[in-house]
Structure 1
Amino acid sequence: MCTSRRAGMEMIVRYRVSVGQYSRLYQDACPQPYRDGCPAELASSLMKSITARTCGRLTPVVALLALSAAVAPLAEADGVPPQRLNWKPCAQGPDDSAGKDLDRAGARCAELTVPLDHSRPGGRTIKLALSRLPATDRAHRIGTMVLNNGGPGEPTLGMPLQVRTAMKDVATRYDLVGLDPRFVGRSTPLDCGWPSGMFLRSAGPTRTRFDHQVAVQRDLAERCAQRHSDVLPYANTRDTARDIDLVRRVLGERRISFLGYSYGAYLGAVYTQMFPGRTDRVVLDSAGDPDKWGPRALQGTEDETERALRGWAAWAAERHGAYGLGATPTRVLATVNAIVTAAENHPLRIGPYEVDDQTVPYLLSIGPGDDRPAARAGFASIVQTLNEAAHRRPAEPGPELDGLLRFVLTSAGSSLASPTAAIACGDRAAPRDPDTYWNDIQRSRARHPLFGPLKNNIWPCAFWPNLPRERPTHIANPTPALIVSATGDPATTYEGSKAMHRAMTGSRLLTLRNTTAHGIYGEYGNACVDTKVNTYLTTGTLPPTNPTCQS
């Protein structure tokens, strides 16, 4: 029989015991998949369960305290020892230009020790590298903002410098933290020793060429398993989110702000799902559909990529005198198709590189994704070089094309491509049957002959040595966030950003219209977007409705 509710003051005095007791009840009530952080949407039903099981003896204050403590993941328990960060200069030698730039700006760097397996906090550990550019207006300091550059696999250590420029005056009120995620950049590395970034390929025009890709992807997976089978199960977004929360703890912050681009937007959304109530101001730039992230995230982006290519072709046609690629958009696209056909007949010789029919579509997919004049001119120069090679004339790569080809065709890209693939494979299981991919390729090829075989191609994940340790995170929470997207984003599409907005019911979607770009705030150069984001970062108040900006 339940007794009457005790006096509020007595409950407040006893709340330390109550919070721990009711937190355990909350964790017991939470379904097993969420035991490391119950999603916010379960709060109402679980709190009713707790209230019933405690005969209603919770004041509102104690109930909120209990709920706040209960959603803390198990990694927040006593198993992870407290740490003090040893902040020191960032430069690691005379040739470390990025580290020197951070030092000149007043940043400092440190290493944080985290569990490899967060369910075993006393076991094997790895290191995370982080930088911090401190707030200079300490009297009006808002807090710490953790940054992520995306990828996954993109180092973030130097990102505070670019973000400080984008944030303008409000940057003085934040400690900006650049965190190289686990296995990325200066953190404990994961390098599969791949001879090239060969998973970034098209399937090619025939089943024979696709079967070659199957053999290549199987070999890449086996190489990674030979080197890193012991750590691959822990390369995933959920463990990265747990790392971020340990960073929050060691910095002594109750809540952190977060800014992430592309995959970094997905990481930020996962953090809000796993750690409700731990964020202050959240900006998710170029966010994709959270339910589609994984080894097949490119699938379904063919239309946007083709629109971007057509937009660039119209621009190039107006400058036929400069680039000689065609006087009309149709003729420019005919030049592109001729390059593809030439590569199918024989690999193109560009300087020291051989560029085949499985590489050319990748180059053509990433170039037109930015409609700013300088980016379009750079891509036009790349197509010029490819066209020269297609006509069997001497062709030397410029700096941009040389960097792309070194990444895709040599081992220089292994240290970046390896964690990219490992995290995607660790987040979501991929189909194991090559015929699944071939059938998707053939279906897509009918409408998208150039990009269908690229976007639907097989990855090493089809042969990955381990399946994901956890189910993909289902994003569904009311966390306030500002999602930024361009209507013509060919990588993480505008439809994907709208899906993220629907999943995060407390968010607002800031749309940059009539724009082809990926990465908007502080990168594209739109004053309207930058002002709206900075207003939110200053005030902490989201716009009342979904705002729009024009290119």
Structure 2
Amino acid sequence: MSRVRGTAVRAAVAVLVSASVVTACTPRGTVPAGNAGPTRFEHQEIDWHGCKGGPQDTEGAELDEAGARCAELTVPLDYRRPDGRTIEVAVSRLPATDPAHRHGTLLYNPGGPGLPVRYLALYLRRAVPTLAARYDVVGMDPRFVGRSTPLDCHWPAVGIGSAGTDRGTFDRTVRLAEDLASRCAGQRSVLPHASTRNTARDMDVVRAALGERKISYLGSSYGTYLGQVYTQLFPERTDRVVLDSTLDADTYGPDLTRTLGPSVTRALRHWAAWAARRDGTYHLGPTTDRVMRTIGRLNRDVGRSPVALGTHTVDSSNLPQLLWNVTAGDSDEAYASYSADVAVLVRAAHGDTVRPTPTLDQVLTDLAGPDADGTFAVQTAVQCADRAAASRDPETYYRDIVEHRADDPVFGPLTRTVTPCTFWPTTPAEPPTDVHNGVPLLMVGATGDPATVYRGQLAAHRDLRNSRLVTLLGAYRHTVYAGLFAPRNACVDEAVDHYLATGVLPSHDTTCRN
């Protein structure tokens, strides 16, 4: 799998640092000594350098080869106390390839939270040469992510997993969530400041330090929430903004996935129709309903008795995470890979001795390992800092799972169970961001998006009252622009490219065909 493809698949199933690391980082950007308050960060001098950090740093080497320069900027841990503790955010800048026609700087965030962007900015530049010609493309590792000042609670797991089939398996997720939350307790002074609001403020420090009066932005998935928060906090500092597969800001938080089971099931049914037409290859059923019944039997069989798959064990905790990979895209290539995975799982549940596909082997290995790079911990920290959990009582989650076992049997126990935020040692430092503004921007998305459901995109469209929406009809994919994480669509790409090139929004909402 390519890095981008691998990231998309692993995201679909998605250093306890001492306080001294956070408080005593050595600033790379030179902050003017005589200034107090936030202004001193905006006027810091950026110390650009090569991106390669050592002989094994292949990503840094690729950035250097592409002509990128990298830097670390100093920002306040808590913007309400700008003269207090500081941290660093790492950035890369890929200069416009046609400087004579350069329009400005575009900051990119492909999602997460907890996803490093410094390197992924290079994928955007490669995917859209016309954009790369007119913009300096900047990738910022959000606070506590990637090369920025780290936050790692040394979690032994990369997810909570599904609550499974009964009270005993649910209680296992409760114990794990509580244990993970407790491992972050030593970071109480840092956790409330991991919020998206502060990441948006960091973006604005980057903008100011670059000497840009306004900045353009492209965000997808979680990146659309970050973009909305930025437009709300800094409406006069945005230039051209594109949001790809937009989250409803009113629902973003630790319980975001709670109601996603039905939308993922609709995507699963779309795949089932594809697999049924190829029953001679995958043997999962000759009709959509038969394929869905195969999935139902697989879920029940594994719930009753875990099965061996190579060196791995598939049980009611991780099977829904494997089946969640249907959200990786609706192309023939993605569906063929997913069908091969399901066929292997079905055979294993029947008692056959089979080897996992490379995708299953990689995902099961990842799920069984520790949170080695801190991604899950940071993702959780951001969500817990943005909005408190809906309930601190585990019984609330168990009742919700039981209530929906009939209508959400496969994914409900995965999406509706507790999270570490249920037991988080801190509360948000600020209320959730209320996004309602008139910043002109372009939204693109698909009607069958299983992760940022279309009704949520429409809600965001209403809240962003000067937005225009380009809808890809009949597609079951998450993100639609430039082919970065899903198949390209020429109609969507043309709409985005035209807006980024001219700054002119469509006169009205439009649609594209899959």
Global fold match (TM > 0.5):
yes
The answer to whether the aligner puts 1:172 opposite 2:133 as a matched pair is: yes
* 1:467-525 CA-partner distances (Å, limit 9, x unpaired): 11100000000001111110000001111111111111010111000101001101231
1:327-476 → structure 2 map (5 Å cutoff): 327-412=286-371, 415-430=374-389, 431-476=391-436
CA distance in 2, matches of 1:305, 1:133: 36
Name whichever of 513-522 and 405-414 sits farther off: 405-414
Aligned 8 A contact 1:131 1:178 in 2: yes
CA distance in 2, matches of 1:107, 1:78: 27
The residue type paired with residue 155 of structure 1 is P
Equivalent residue for 2:228, pick from 269, 272, 287: 269
The answer to whether the aligner puts 1:80 opposite 2:41 as a matched pair is: yes
Q: CA deviation at 1:449?
A: 1.5
**Structure 1 residue runs of 4+, over 6 Å off?**
none
CA distance in 1, matches of 2:42, 2:371: 37
Q: CA deviation at 1:412?
A: 4.7
The answer to whether the aligner puts 1:104 opposite 2:65 as a matched pair is: yes
- 2:270 match: 311
Q: CA deviation at 1:369?
A: 4.6
CA distance in 1, matches of 2:375, 2:251: 22
The residue type paired with residue 495 of structure 2 is K
SS of residue in 2 equivalent to 1:442: helix
The answer to whether the aligner puts 1:501 opposite 2:464 as a matched pair is: no
- Give the aligned length: 476
Aligned 8 A contact 1:308 1:369 in 2: no
SS of residue in 2 equivalent to 1:204: coil
Aligned 8 A contact 1:129 1:186 in 2: yes
Equivalent residue for 2:79, pick from 95, 115, 118: 118
The answer to whether the aligner puts 1:236 opposite 2:222 as a matched pair is: no
Q: CA deviation at 1:76?
A: 7.1
SS of residue in 1 equivalent to 2:147: coil
The residue type paired with residue 104 of structure 2 is G
SS of residue in 2 equivalent to 1:446: coil
The residue type paired with residue 68 of structure 2 is A
The residue type paired with residue 177 of structure 1 is V
- 1:543 match: 506
1:42-191 → structure 2 map (5 Å cutoff): 77-78=38-39, 80=41, 82-191=43-152
Equivalent residue for 2:489, pick from 517, 521, 526: 526
Name whichever of 236-245 and 350-359 sits farther off: 350-359
Q: CA deviation at 1:265?
A: 0.4
The residue type paired with residue 96 of structure 2 is A
Equivalent residue for 2:249, pick from 266, 282, 290: 290
The answer to whether the aligner puts 1:221 opposite 2:181 as a matched pair is: yes
Aligned 8 A contact 1:294 1:428 in 2: yes
Aligned 8 A contact 1:305 1:369 in 2: no
CA distance in 2, matches of 1:376, 1:126: 43
The residue type paired with residue 549 of structure 1 is C
- 1:39 match: none
Larger Rg: 1
CA distance in 1, matches of 2:294, 2:242: 40
Q: CA deviation at 1:301?
A: 2.0
- TM-score calculated relative to the size of structure 1: 0.83
Q: CA deviation at 1:367?
A: 2.1
CA distance in 2, matches of 1:301, 1:357: 18
* 1:133-169 CA-partner distances (Å, limit 9, x unpaired): 0012222211100111211011111222222233332
The residue type paired with residue 449 of structure 1 is P
Aligned 8 A contact 1:198 1:216 in 2: no
Aligned 8 A contact 1:192 1:414 in 2: no
Q: CA deviation at 1:406?
A: 2.7
The residue type paired with residue 123 of structure 2 is Q
Among all aligned residue pairs of Structure 1 and Structure 2, give the percentage whose two residues are the same amino acid.
50
The residue type paired with residue 116 of structure 1 is L
Q: CA deviation at 1:293?
A: 0.3
Name whichever of 210-219 and 474-483 sits farther off: 210-219
Unaligned runs of 5+ in 1: 1-74
The residue type paired with residue 235 of structure 1 is A
Equivalent residue for 2:448, pick from 473, 477, 488: 488
CA distance in 2, matches of 1:131, 1:447: 46
The residue type paired with residue 140 of structure 1 is H
CA distance in 2, matches of 1:87, 1:420: 28
* 1:235-259 CA-partner distances (Å, limit 9, x unpaired): 1101111100100111010100001
Q: CA deviation at 1:333?
A: 1.9
CA distance in 2, matches of 1:290, 1:325: 39
Unaligned runs of 5+ in 2: 1-35
Aligned 8 A contact 1:368 1:379 in 2: no
Aligned 8 A contact 1:194 1:220 in 2: yes
CA distance in 1, matches of 2:491, 2:122: 21
CA distance in 1, matches of 2:310, 2:374: 24
The residue type paired with residue 531 of structure 1 is E
* 1:427-462 CA-partner distances (Å, limit 9, x unpaired): 100110111111222222232122222221110100
- 1:21 match: none
